[in-house]
Structure 1
Amino acid sequence: MTNLFTIFDPSTSMMKIQLNWTSSMLGLMIMPVWFWMMNNRYTMMMSKPLNMLNKEFNILLNTNNKGMTMMFISLFTLIMLNNILGLLPYLFTSTSHLMMTLTMALPLWLSFMMFGWIKNSEKMFTHLVPTGTPTLLMPFMVCIETISNFIRPGTLSVRLTANMIAGHLIMTLLGNSTMSVSTNMLLIMLIIQMMLLTLETAVAIIQGYVFAVLSTLYASEVN
């Protein structure tokens, strides 16, 4: 049990150098070269979900400008690739560290807040008091909304980190116990592992989608 969390250690076991972060760059190797490659099934498979995300993010942002959604689509692609690559054997899951998730969430939140309070100060003040709030509850609602705004980067990063850690720990525990089970239980354990791997693949995609959608909603509030 003392070595259970070694799969989340960013340093290698031999040189004690944090080289495992380089696994985050492996996603760039499988991305297609858009401008130098002819249309094929691989590029079509990548472009169709990205076009769907572009339409959905434009609806959330209430704009038809295609460039507005490129940042959030890139964010979704980065998180999804890192989550899926973390499911492969002997690959480090960078999104299981707050160092990685906070690096993405905190600058986004700071830029949204700075833009909103500088450009749209009156609308930002109105967000602190929802419509229909009784007069007596207005001071409390201001405190609650202020706290909720401050904890947004933490909730974004912790949600992604906790989901990645929980899934990997369950898979590690089941994998360690598979070696000691009887032959009759081996097939059942393998089926459970395959089902859990399928679930974790879906969670990897969903968590990237949730992170990008929430970031888009936060951007739409200050615009």
Structure 2
Amino acid sequence: MMSNLFSIFDPSTNLFNLSLNWISTIIGLLFIPYSFWMIPNRYYYFWNLILNKLHNEFKTLLKNNYFQGSTFIFISLFSFVMFNNFLGLFPYIFTSTSHLVMTLSLSLPLWLSFMMYGWLNNYQHMFSHMIPQGTPSILMPFMVMIETISNIIRPGTLAVRLTANMIAGHLLMTLLSNTGNNMNLIMIFFLILVQILLLILESSVAIIQSYVIAILSTLYSSEVN
């Protein structure tokens, strides 16, 4: 019996007393079939189609800031987060994206690099973002304060959004599964059906959240220039 519901997210996997939890961030490579590396094949064409769609969308969002290879970091971010989100749906695999240590490590360096680049190279454009066009003079100090706070909390909102969404689905599935011991046979079949539907929902959330964090990172980078 769990002493705490959130203990399902505790790092507990070890081998010979060596903590192997964070190895789950790269274990996704083991799920890629060998034939993926043989060009051409179905897996390669399918994944390449997805990456091309993402490249075109990120290129549109970057607008005048686009240069060759500038979308690579955001496509890599999408792929990395999506693989880790999906791995968290497998039993006995540590869900790294449900921890703020992981999500903040992704969002904070990106945001800091955008801010440093913008303030060092284009500070006039950054100052103009503080006060929207047409703001009355009396509201300008408040607008600067509000815009500054909203800019500072951006990496936190990126990290918390991903973490909260991954935690919520796992907690719901865990709560439902713990009620199965007291159910009759018909209710257990119904519970299994609900769990399957929840698993499908969580799979879509895994894709959507990785897409959201990549899109927002692209939008933040397009604002600094």
Normalising by structure 1, report the TM-score: 0.94
Return the match for 1:163 from 162, 165, 170.
Answer: 165
Are the equivalent residues in 2 in contact too, given 1:58–1:66 (CA < 8 A)? Answer: no
The 3-state SS of whatever aligns with 2:223 is helix
User: Aligned equivalents of 1:138 and 1:44: distance in 2?
Assistant: 52
1:59 aligned onto 2:69:
no
What is the CA-CA distance between 1:17 and the residue it aligns to? 4.4
Could you give the per-residue CA deviations for residues 136-187 of structure 1, whole angstroms, max 9, x where no partner exists?
1110000000001110010000000000011100011111112321112111
Contact 2:37 2:44 in 1 (8 A): no
CA gap 1:139/1:170 in 2 versus in 1, 3 angstroms: same
The residue aligned with 2:184 is 182
Q: Does 1:199 align with 2:201?
A: yes
Question: Given the superposition, is the C-alpha separation of residues 216 and 51 from structure 1 closer, same or farther in structure 2, using an over 3 Å criterion?
Answer: same
Whole-angstrom distance in 1 between the partners of 2:129 and 2:172: 40
Partner of 1:24: 25
Aligned pair in 2 of structure 1 residues 133, 15: CA closer, same or farther (>3 Å)? farther
Aligned CA RMSD, in angstroms, stands at 1.9
- C-alpha separation in 1, matches of 2:38 and 2:137: 62
Q: 2 CA distance for matches of 1:160 and 1:85?
A: 15
Offset of 1:12 from its aligned partner?
Answer: 2.6
Aligned counterparts of 1:14 and 1:37: Cα–Cα separation in 2: 33
Q: Is the 8 A contact 1:23 1:91 kept in 2?
A: yes
Cα 1:15–1:145 shift into 2, 3 Å:
farther
Q: State the percentage of identical aligned residues.
A: 59
Partner of 2:144: 142
How far residue 36 of structure 1 moved from its aligned partner, in angstroms, is 5.5
2:107–2:159 Cα contact (<8 Å) kept: yes
Alignment match, 1:37: 38
State the aligned residue count: 223
What's the TM-score once normalised by structure 2's chain length?
Answer: 0.93
Instruction: Give CA-to-partner distance per residue, 1:73-92, whole Å, 9 cap, x none.
Output: 00000000000010011111
- Partner amino acid for 1:98? L
**Contact kept in structure 2, 1:32 and 1:43, CA below 8 Å:** no
- TM alignment of 1:66-145, pairs within 5 A: 66-145=68-147
